Structure 1
Amino acid sequence: MIMQNIWHKNAIIYSLDVETFMDSNGDGVGDFQGLIERLDYLSGLGINCLWLLPFYPSPNRDNGYDVMDYYNVDPRLGTLGDFVEFMDRAREQGIHVLIDLVVNHTSIEHPWFQAARTDKNSKYRHYYVWSENPPQDDVEEIVFPHAEDSIWEYDQQAEAYYLHHFYKEQPDLNIANSEVREEIRKIINFWLQLGVSGFRVDAVPYLIKEIGVQAERHELESFLSEMREFLSLRRADAVLLAEANVSPDLTCVYFGQGDRMNMLFNFYLNQQMFLALARQEANPIIDALKSLPKIPKQAQWLNFVRHHDELNLNQLENTQREEIFQVFAPEEAMQIYKGRGIRRRLPPMFGGDRRRIELTYSLLFSLPGIPLLRYGDEIGMGDDLSLSDRDSVRTPMQWSSGQNGGFSTSDPEKLTQPMISQGEYSYKSVNVAASQRDPNSLLNWMDRLIRIRKQCSELGWGNWQILDTGEPCVFAHSCEWNNKTVIAVHNLADKSCSIALKLDGSYYLDDLFGDHQYEVPGESHTISLEAYGYRWFRLNPIKP
């Protein structure tokens, strides 16, 4: 029963945007009926948790993160009835569903803001943060420096400035206001009643910033505990997943004592992992893991390679970012937000090198925590750098080589986003149907990886330890749980090598997964690795 209530400790999460996944009615926009049609595919792949990007009614200034109505579905994507049907089908497949909770800001078109700007005496006036003379030294606070030059915007109707850390069309909510907190609890309860297993909480550090509000930092942070308590009282196994791109020393704010966020995206490890891949050296990964604090027993890290935003590198030093850019994004068009990140998917970053792609996902799935896949990762989808900003990695799912990649039967110009139709990553050559027919495809490899990962609960539950390899390019670690141990070894370099692990002689290494059929390690625990090679083992006792 305890394990059921903390299912997130060993989940395989798959992230998708309903509007770019599958179109059921030929209008060019993905929808919930289309998603329902593809649940068998996701279940067959071994996915047991879906994270859905915002599907609420929205002007779509920021990919749906500018919400107009927290209690409904964007009519392009379906109805609440379609959502409930989707939840029923997902439950039948044993798939948990997380949805985005976007409550650090609303759309400027939300009725709350419309009431706030037109009537100073409206209660909604205090749902937002206003100032008649805002400070001007706020450049470092701007999330989108390419589009905004301040976090304050003057509103003619309101005759005051309102706070917005993101686009000016997204006014920040005032979390210090108890009525706003109550509204957020209502939103959480509404979607819990419709069956969701929890929420990915958007931009949590901005949710608890004290800029312009009448509250101390600790008072704002306490709302994270309030949210968790409210959630858990209504559904014991529901979770909060925080998007918090912060340094390791600040993660305690979000995990608390196990009474705040259940999970955090591991941004710090993600950025150090790409530095390690660029250098072909294990030390950045080792240093990152050693820098992470011990987290509460029921909490969890969510590891990822790429998601729907840019590959954010803001926690690295300038010279480290440049190292990554030189290897993975040498052209300015591949970078975003004044050199803060990369707007590419993984396969193009690696020049299509299957060895490096496999190495990276093997590493992702074996790191302490749980893995996240972004839709299309399993077939090696590419990007479209001709699209603006983050849209380069938000192209529709490629199901087949047919019209519009099997995503939609509409005219191509009506698609919510253009298909990748040219080049190496065109839907004509990279798609689910072709991948399923090819026994050596990335999709079939990913299927094996997921099956093996689900047999290795130690990686989600266990205590990890870094193993000395004697080779700077090789990262090796173990995870132990319930007297069982899994060991993973990854060669980050473009040269083959051999290492000898210093292990107890009363144990032997049993091969679980790898890039080649290698010789079985002998009593010396010597392990051979090809260039970009990887191997997983279970440590078993030698019977007398």
Structure 2
Amino acid sequence: MGLEDKWHKNETIYSMDVETFYDSDGDGVGDFQGLIDRLGYLSRLGVSCIWLLPFYETPNLDNGYDIADYYQVDSRLGTLGDFVEFTHEARARGIRVIIDMVVNHTSDQHPWFQAARRDPDSPYRDYYVWTDEPAQAPDKDTFFPGEEEDVWNYDEVAEAYYYHRFYRFQPDLNLRNPDVREEIRKILGFWLELGVSGFRVDAATLMIDQKGDLPPLEEPHSVLKEMKSFVRSREGDAVLLAEADDAPDELEAYFGEDGNEMDLLLNFVLNAHLTHALAREEASPLVAGLERLPDVSGTGQWANFLRNYDELNVGRLSGGARAEVFETFGPEERMRIYGRGLRRRLAPMLEGDPDRIELAYSLLFALPGTPIIVSGDEIGMGEDLSLPGRNAVRTPLHWSDDPNAGFSNGDPDDLVRGIIDEGPFSYEHVNVAAQRAEQNSLLDRMSRLIGTRKECPSLGWGAHTVLATDSDSVFANRYDWEENTVVTVHNLAADTATVPLDLGDPDDPLHRLVGAGEHTRRDDGRVAVELGGYEYCWLRVGAEHATRHW
């Protein structure tokens, strides 16, 4: 498989929810025509891949993750024709599209479930997991403590209990059933035909877990391997990005043998450790996180992120580290959720300081893997803690200081969610239009970082090494790929720090790629990098531009 087939190694992924991006028709809900209208914004930002949250027909009780029809677009967002127009226009701008694929469960309004509950002899009955005696089933915890008490729910029509690890309106599919697996292949094939370049596989860990009182899958990962085999048979360069929030020693298995399973894994382990490093303003938690990860350079790649549309999950940290993160970034109880996470945006966690936010994203982009940005973080949006649960970080994008933040010209009461209109993160202070007009705004800095990352294929393809420094606050790393070497150095603290680094041949020229840090050659041949508070520096060693011998 060549470089072109592994396009995901050097991309920046922009995660977005259609309903909160831009409303084209004034009904208060973002839509595909609005997304088409604003593709130029994403192109200018430098985004090369869009990850769409669920947009299928849905009762919309869990932000679209309760799907009632896998073959239809939610009518609030547009039509199938609008979707095809969107993928065509995105491709014309060099932007690929991956979409959420939610096949661990369906909505309880899905025709499969409705048929299953009405007739015990229906072929759809075995699409789900049923029992008459839930007390005899293996004990499982609900994924939403405090909101759901049990993973079994009694259905009066079926006169039986069905299994759900998420909400009770999201019954789990029985992935032991070959007919269910065939349905999944049909769904994947349908959307590949409409122009997508891959799928984000929701709840991959739960898909391969034992469900209810069913016997475990003989080969749990076979479900994911079948998806990969089918997708690649239809589109040779299509990718699968898995939500696999599993123990570190289990993660390597998701990539399969010789890359025959997932192409990318959301890096929950490193995300938690990166958050701890930012809270402590020290590099050691980040180094520890990298050391916990298996080496997957030969089979797959990590998908790294600072925030997503769920809670910022720090459950993989030790109790003391988790408490430290909560104290620093979530001092109020209302900022926390499920005992494991924060329902906050990055910018307010970092007190709205553009230098700290830029540092955090430079650090993200400098880690081994593919970086993901959540829509709105490129301008430093805040959260709305008055909204319930995860919705605090799911408010509409601020386009301008016009009414409704330029998101919609509809009635404010009709908006899918309210606009942030108070405090330092209100739409009047934080919006796209203002930052477009301002040189060196956060939006400008983010675009520069994305462009620099794209110019450095070494970060996607090269061998990664953490460099020792004599400063607790400084993280330094190096990538080597063919004749290309890139070094990044980040100061996580407010105090100035200078670190000497051994970068090899003292005659090799150094070229600064991005960042404000200064570097000088010392008499002993090492390079001294001086960084002010929250500053960073990317250096290319040797050739001024990336080279490759074909």
Could you state the TM-score of these two structures normalised by the residue count of structure 2? 0.96
Instruction: Check if 1:342 corresponds to 2:327.
Output: no
2:470 maps to 470
* Mapped contact 2:519–2:528 kept (Cα < 8 A): no
**Deviation of residue 247 (structure 1)?**
2.1
Measure the CA separation in 2 of the matches of 1:65 and 1:375. 18
Measure the CA separation in 1 of the matches of 2:350 and 2:468. 27
Measure the CA separation in 2 of the matches of 1:148 and 1:136. 19
Q: Tell me the alpha carbon deviations over residues 144-171 of structure 1, each in whole angstroms, 9 at most, x when there is no partner.
A: 1121111000111111110000000000
- Structure 2 letter corresponding to 1:85: E
2:542 maps to 540
Measure the CA separation in 2 of the matches of 1:511 and 1:311. 33
Instruction: Check if 1:525 corresponds to 2:527.
Output: yes
**Deviation of residue 218 (structure 1)?**
4.0
**Deviation of residue 136 (structure 1)?**
7.1
Instruction: Check if 1:152 corresponds to 2:152.
Output: yes
Unpaired stretches in structure 2, ≥5 consecutive residues: 545-550
**Deviation of residue 355 (structure 1)?**
2.0
2:548 maps to none
**Deviation of residue 211 (structure 1)?**
2.6
Measure the CA separation in 2 of the matches of 1:315 and 1:369. 19
Change (3 A) 1:220 1:541: closer
**Deviation of residue 45 (structure 1)?**
1.0
2:320 maps to 319
Measure the CA separation in 2 of the matches of 1:19 and 1:293. 37
* Mapped contact 1:509–1:521 kept (Cα < 8 A): no
**Deviation of residue 266 (structure 1)?**
0.8
Q: Tell me the alpha carbon deviations over residues 412-462 of structure 1, each in whole angstroms, 9 at most, x when there is no partner.
A: 110001011111111111111100000021001111111111111111111
- Structure 1 letter corresponding to 2:12: I
2:356 maps to 356
**Deviation of residue 524 (structure 1)?**
3.0
* Mapped contact 1:305–1:364 kept (Cα < 8 A): yes
Measure the CA separation in 2 of the matches of 1:160 and 1:118. 11
- Structure 2 letter corresponding to 1:533: E
* Mapped contact 2:67–2:110 kept (Cα < 8 A): yes
Measure the CA separation in 1 of the matches of 2:354 and 2:375. 18
1:2 maps to 2
* Mapped contact 2:176–2:217 kept (Cα < 8 A): no
Helix, strand or coil for the counterpart of 2:494?
coil
Measure the CA separation in 1 of the matches of 2:217 and 2:492. 42
Helix, strand or coil for the counterpart of 1:165?
coil
- Structure 2 letter corresponding to 1:198: G
Measure the CA separation in 2 of the matches of 1:440 and 1:521. 29
Q: Tell me the alpha carbon deviations over residues 322-343 of structure 1, each in whole angstroms, 9 at most, x when there is no partner.
A: 1001111100011011x21000
1:196 maps to 196
1:310 maps to 311
2:547 maps to none
Q: Tell me the alpha carbon deviations over residues 278-330 of structure 1, each in whole angstroms, 9 at most, x when there is no partner.
A: 12221111122122112153521110000111101111122111100111110
2:369 maps to 369
Match runs of 1:73-84 below 5 Å: 73-84=73-84
1:101 maps to 101
Measure the CA separation in 2 of the matches of 1:111 and 1:406. 38
1:284 maps to 285
Q: Tell me the alpha carbon deviations over residues 356-380 of structure 1, each in whole angstroms, 9 at most, x when there is no partner.
A: 1111001001111111000011111
Helix, strand or coil for the counterpart of 2:71?
coil
Measure the CA separation in 2 of the matches of 1:541 and 1:16. 37
2:443 maps to 443
Match runs of 1:74-473 below 5 Å: 74-135=74-135, 141-212=141-212, 214-257=214-257, 258-295=259-296, 297-337=298-338, 339-473=339-473
* Mapped contact 2:131–2:213 kept (Cα < 8 A): no
Q: Tell me the alpha carbon deviations over residues 381-440 of structure 1, each in whole angstroms, 9 at most, x when there is no partner.
A: 111011010000000011011010110000111000101111111111111110000002
Q: Tell me the alpha carbon deviations over residues 92-133 of structure 1, each in whole angstroms, 9 at most, x when there is no partner.
A: 011110001000000000000000000000000000000100
* Mapped contact 1:473–1:492 kept (Cα < 8 A): yes
Measure the CA separation in 2 of the matches of 1:480 and 1:393. 37
Measure the CA separation in 1 of the matches of 2:433 and 2:364. 25
* Mapped contact 2:174–2:211 kept (Cα < 8 A): no
**Deviation of residue 140 (structure 1)?**
5.3
* Mapped contact 1:68–1:109 kept (Cα < 8 A): yes
Unpaired stretches in structure 1, ≥5 consecutive residues: none
* Mapped contact 1:476–1:487 kept (Cα < 8 A): yes
Measure the CA separation in 2 of the matches of 1:515 and 1:188. 45
**Deviation of residue 541 (structure 1)?**
6.9
- Structure 1 letter corresponding to 2:464: W
Measure the CA separation in 1 of the matches of 2:99 and 2:67. 13
Change (3 A) 1:276 1:296: closer
Residues matched between the structures, number: 540
Helix, strand or coil for the counterpart of 1:63?
coil
Q: Tell me the alpha carbon deviations over residues 501-538 of structure 1, each in whole angstroms, 9 at most, x when there is no partner.
A: 0222232432111135x354454301101111211101
Measure the CA separation in 2 of the matches of 1:541 and 1:407. 45
- Structure 2 letter corresponding to 1:301: W
Measure the CA separation in 2 of the matches of 1:37 and 1:541. 40
